[in-house]
Amino acid sequence: HVQLVESGGESMQAGGSLRLSCAASGFTSDNVCMGWFRQAPGKERERDAGIDVDGTTSYYADSVKGRFTVSRDNAERTVYLQMDSLKPEDTAVYYCAADPFSSFFLINPAGHSWGQGTQVTVS
């Protein structure tokens, strides 16, 4: 039974920083690309970042490039999203995604495992 549990979301002032965490369990191996998506009210879920199985290669959406950093700790089976220079438009529910059959681009949402989401509010 695959489970992803996000944490770290909170309300912040613009310009601040947050670090989101996602703890994964239930995968039979560590060969799982992981990443982060966001969904703002009234909008579709969109990709922010993805990272490959050993953490050496990553993808960023243009809207977060240079501000967000994705990383992972395979010993802890955890993926992180460091969010700096936060903007009000970053306000959204952030979801962790994982998929053993996907690249770090995570382009097949229907095949991904998802966490429950964590709310980030920037004012």
Please give the full DSSP string across the chain, using - where no structure is assigned.
--EEEEE---EE-TT--EEEEEEEE--SSS--EEEEEEE-TTS--EEEEEE-TTSS-EEE-TTTTTTEEEEEETTTTEEEEEE-S--GGG-EEEEEEEETTS-TT---GGGSEE---EEEEE-
Task: Judge whether 10 and 122 are in contact, CB under 8 Å.
Answer: no
pLDDT in tens, the chain (123 residues): 889 999 999 999 999 999 999 999 998 877 899 999 999 999 999 999 999 999 999 999 999 999 999 999 999 999 999 999 999 999 999 999 999 888 888 888 888 999 999 999 999
pLDDT of residue 95: 98
pLDDT of residue 107: 85
pLDDT of residue 105: 87
Distances (CA, A) of 32 to 69, 74, 80: 18, 10, 14
- Burial of 38 per CB tally in 10 Å (0-12, 13-18, 19+): buried
Residues making up the chain, counted from first to last: 123
Task: Judge whether 97 and 37 are in contact, CB under 8 Å.
Answer: yes
